[in-house]
Amino acid sequence: MDIKKLFEGVAVVIDDNINKPESNDLILRIVEKLENKIPLLTFEDIPENKIINNFSNISFILLDWELFDNNLQGTSAAESEIDRNFRFIRKLRKITFSPIFIFSNETPDEIIRQLNDKNLYNSERNNYIFVKRKQELFTRNNSFKMFGVIKSWLEKTPSIYVLKEWEKSLNEAKNKLFWDFYNINHKWPSVLQKTFTKDGSDVNYELGNFIFKNIMARTEPIKFDEDILKLEDNDLSKEEIRKVLEAERFIKNDSLPHMPFTGDLYRYRADGENEDRYYLNIRPECDIARKSNPEIYCLKGRIVNENDINPNEPSDNEIRFIEGAFIERINKIYLPFILSGKILEFSLNDIKIKKWNTLKDDRMGRILPPYITAIQQKYAFYLHRQGLPAIPEKAIKDE
């Protein structure tokens, strides 16, 4: 892992002593060392929101914690100044996932306590906020070791490491795509716009989808450091593993655009029932995108009682799970782990056609490929299956 390549790009440094040589603050040496390696945007104070809004593509942020004179310490004025840091971090979280390095002259434990109190830090796990004293970035003989310190932290924070490796690969693919099409014809978006319009498709959706697919096709395989990604068997609980698997296959509704799509999951409750049931849209996206209020083709689903999975005694409701997969009946399909880690069962022999406007307020989220694709494929196979005569039980087992 080349840590310097991972953090290529513009970084932001915010420190009240950054333009005060007379202060002899260590930030002056830190900036001097960083400027030899990466371009910096420097600020003496937290910038205005209109500037912060441009931080979406920065490499990282280096933030001093006390951006005020020492004579404010212990006063309500000092607390008010610290609150500005909290607001700044919350603002950043809406704009970027870039790491925040708080390198201060203050005690790291006290800063972490303050962040904990505001639910911006979790001491029980690794965080995207990294807190150190400024002097910890230098060795005893005054050699600069910031990137070595960050590397040690990154090895314990795989989410940030994966982000940086992926960003590097994504930017290369994005440049390939736009230069390829620019060299063909710089009006290529207009050509596609005309094609999508003539086809009756939503231009915004189709053009965006076209770009994403072409970027993926040009993306080189990313070589992640497996020593950073490896996980010990006892590192995560069953519930934590389910949460990660859910995020991999399911996007909750509050993160989705307000438009219908293949894989949308809706909640409903039938008359006389006390349990929630679910509709899963399997209609192809090309049919949905062409209409403002399309018909949604829904499979009916329910939450599985997990006591029915591999029961000790055979039963009519039993579900077999063997070697990492559910053994599905011809008319059933199972989808773990959705809606806070639950397992859903969908019936292929009961499809309902609903209008988007009647369902949209009850959408729970969206099932992602390849899971929704597998469900569509199995439903297609179910429709054109060839029925076979039943085998007499006596031919299999003795009476």
Pairing of the two strands 61-63 and 11-14 = parallel
Q: What is the DSSP string of 175-229?
A: HHHHHHHHHH-TTHHHHHHHHHHHTT--HHHHHHHHHHHHHHHHPPPP---HHHH
Give the pLDDT of residue 1.
66
Q: Does the pLDDT at position 71 exceed 60?
A: no
Per the model's pLDDT, the better-predicted residue between 30 and 198 turns out to be 30
Q: Does the pLDDT at position 191 exceed 80?
A: yes
Which of these, 86, 10, 74, lies nearest to 43 by C-alpha position? 10
With a pLDDT cut of 70, the percent of the chain lying above it is 94
Average pLDDT for residues 265-293, to the nearest whole number? 86
Give the pLDDT of residue 140.
85
Question: Among 69-78, 93-102, 309-318, 385-394, where is mean pLDDT lowest?
Answer: 69-78
Q: What are 59's two structure tokens?
A: 């490499």
The whole-angstrom separation of Cα 243 and Cα 246 is 5
Q: Does the pLDDT at position 259 exceed 60?
A: yes
Residue whose pair of structure tokens reads 């959705």 in the numeric block = 338
The whole-angstrom separation of Cα 190 and Cα 294 is 27
Q: Does the pLDDT at position 3 exceed 80?
A: no
Identify whether the C-beta of residue 89 lies closer than 8 Å to the C-beta of residue 129: yes
Name the pLDDT band for 80 (thresholds 50, 70, 90): confident
Q: Does the pLDDT at position 389 exceed 90?
A: no
Give the pLDDT of residue 161.
86
The overall pTM is greater than 0.75: no
Average pLDDT for residues 289-305, to the nearest whole number? 89
The whole-angstrom separation of Cα 146 and Cα 108 is 16
- Ramachandran category for residue 254: left, alpha or beta (phi over 0 → left; psi -120 to 50 → alpha): alpha
The whole-angstrom separation of Cα 12 and Cα 357 is 45
Give the pLDDT of residue 232.
66
Q: Does the pLDDT at position 355 exceed 60?
A: yes
Count of C-beta atoms within a 10 Å radius of residue 263? 22
Q: Does the pLDDT at position 72 exceed 80?
A: no
Alpha helix ranges (H) inside the chain: 3-6, 26-35, 49-52, 76-95, 108-117, 146-154, 158-184, 188-198, 203-218, 226-229, 238-249, 285-288, 356-359, 371-383
Average pLDDT for residues 59-83, to the nearest whole number? 76
The whole-angstrom separation of Cα 25 and Cα 19 is 10
Q: Does the pLDDT at position 200 exceed 80?
A: no
Identify whether the C-beta of residue 315 lies closer than 8 Å to the C-beta of residue 327: no
Question: What digits encode the pLDDT tens for the residues 15-47?
Answer: 999 999 898 899 999 999 898 888 999 999 999
Rg (CA), the chain: 27
In the three-class reduction of DSSP (H, G, I as helix; E, B as strand; rest coil), residue 158 is classed as helix
Identify whether the C-beta of residue 337 lies closer than 8 Å to the C-beta of residue 343: yes
Question: What digits encode the pLDDT tens for the residues 304-350?
Answer: 999 889 888 888 788 999 888 888 888 999 999 999 999 999 999 98
Residue whose pair of structure tokens reads 């441009």 in the numeric block = 54
Average pLDDT for residues 4-16, to the nearest whole number? 87
Give the pLDDT of residue 126.
67
Give the pLDDT of residue 287.
83
Name the pLDDT band for 74 (thresholds 50, 70, 90): low
Per the model's pLDDT, the better-predicted residue between 69 and 16 turns out to be 16
Q: Does the pLDDT at position 238 exceed 90?
A: no
The whole-angstrom separation of Cα 98 and Cα 57 is 8
Question: What digits encode the pLDDT tens for the residues 106-161?
Answer: 889 999 999 999 999 877 666 789 999 999 999 888 888 988 888 888 888 888 88
The whole-angstrom separation of Cα 97 and Cα 164 is 10
Q: Does the pLDDT at position 176 exceed 60?
A: yes
Average pLDDT for residues 174-184, to the nearest whole number? 93
Give the pLDDT of residue 16.
92
Per the model's pLDDT, the better-predicted residue between 137 and 394 turns out to be 137
Q: What are 274's two structure tokens?
A: 């006390």
User: Phi and psi at residue 42, in whole multiples of 5°?
Assistant: -115, 140
Give the pLDDT of residue 352.
94
Q: Does the pLDDT at position 233 exceed 70?
A: no
Average pLDDT of the chain, as a whole number: 87
The whole-angstrom separation of Cα 44 and Cα 31 is 13
For the chain, domains (ranges, CATH) are 3-156 (3.40.50.2300), 165-228 (no CATH), 236-383 (no CATH)
Name the pLDDT band for 77 (thresholds 50, 70, 90): low
In the three-class reduction of DSSP (H, G, I as helix; E, B as strand; rest coil), residue 91 is classed as helix
